[in-house]
Amino acid sequence: MNLTIFQSPWDAGKILITAHKGSFQWEGIVSESELSMALETDTDELDEDLHISISGQPTAILSEGDNVRIQFGPFLVTGTVTEWKKVLKRARAGARSLSQCPALSTQHWNVEPILFPVTGIDCS
């Protein structure tokens, strides 16, 4: 799994999420500010009522104690808020121009998600 952040000074940043499982590739885009704000929410308040939009699809942000889980395509990515923030910080260090962000078609993953640690995410 890979996160790539695309930013510009005049528009909201986007995060491209790319996940591979065998020969299948899934990609999604989430607003950088939407994900960051969700991670600032008290983890006691995270439940199925808190959603972010990934490529136009509402996706629940769930928590168990200090562990936050978000489904990105075939993966249920899990980690503490601190780990999530570290990954986003790494991804911001390699941010690209927003004009380079690709347009994506919506893809759905219709099987049981695979647990994946947020600390295992590559950032480009």
Domain count, the chain: 1
Report pLDDT digits (tens) over 61-78. Answer: 888 877 899 988 888 999
Looking at residue 117, its pLDDT comes to: 86
> In sequence order, what are the residues at sequence separation of 6 or more whose Cβ sits closer than 8 angstroms to the Cβ of residue 50?
38, 41, 60, 61
Would you state the torsion angle of the CA atoms of residues 53, 63, 4, 86, taken in this order, to the nearest 10 degrees?
150
Matching residue, tokens 């009522």: 49
Looking at residue 43, its pLDDT comes to: 59
Looking at residue 72, its pLDDT comes to: 87
Residues of the chain with pLDDT under 50: none
Query: Quick one: tokens of 83?
Result: 């780990």
Looking at residue 91, its pLDDT comes to: 93
Domain membership of residue 29 as a residue range: 2-123
Looking at residue 22, its pLDDT comes to: 78
